[in-house]
Structure 1
Amino acid sequence: MANAASGVAVHDDCKLRFLELKAKRTYRYIIVKIEEKQKQVVVEKVGEPTETYEDFAASFPAEECRYCIYDFDFVTTENCQKSKIFFIAWSHDSSRIRSKMI
């Protein structure tokens, strides 16, 4: 079902992959894109838990926009292992204006 404001729906696979990342830490990251013809958000790529931030950054296509969910592991000053999930909206400087607007 499409969002009334944008007219773009989120594919069920996106929701499933996010829940797997959140609950089970199955992936390091999920990259999704908007399929303009289908008018829906679909999973483009998932990263294995062993992949690094450099692998994640290298996954972005040139001149296109993407949305990403990244599971960031870090150690606090108290030496505790922590994890935070970030939502990232990627928009390359040379992306098409239409792509940036959508």
Structure 2
Amino acid sequence: MVGPPGTGKTLLARATAGEARVPFFSISGSDFVEMFVGVGASRVRDMFDQAKKNSPCIVFIDEIDAVGRHRGAGLGGGHDEREQTLNQLLVEMDGFEANDGII
């Protein structure tokens, strides 16, 4: 979902989970960005582990643009914290492992 702040994106996602009677996990993309390398990627893994344990469920990442930018645009040769966090997010969403029952 895309839109300016305050238009009800989070509310719509929460209502969808309520109607589907599934757990709802919400986190802000800025919660993934940390000063220490590897912490953001670890938080992504933890969130998806919880989602897999509670499957089916809805995972809503608000302000994903905090980590979701063009890869390779970092000043540290592509190995900064945001890049690692984004890569882990992409792996969890569409990685090499089959995610049965997870969309």
Q: TM-score range by the shorter chain?
A: 0.3 to 0.5
Quick check: which one's helix share is greater?
2
Quick check: which one's strand share is greater?
1
For the pair shown, which has the larger CA radius of gyration, 1 or 2? 1
The higher relative CO (CA closer than 8 Å, separation ≥ 6) is in 2
Scaled by the length of structure 1, the TM-score of the pair is 0.32
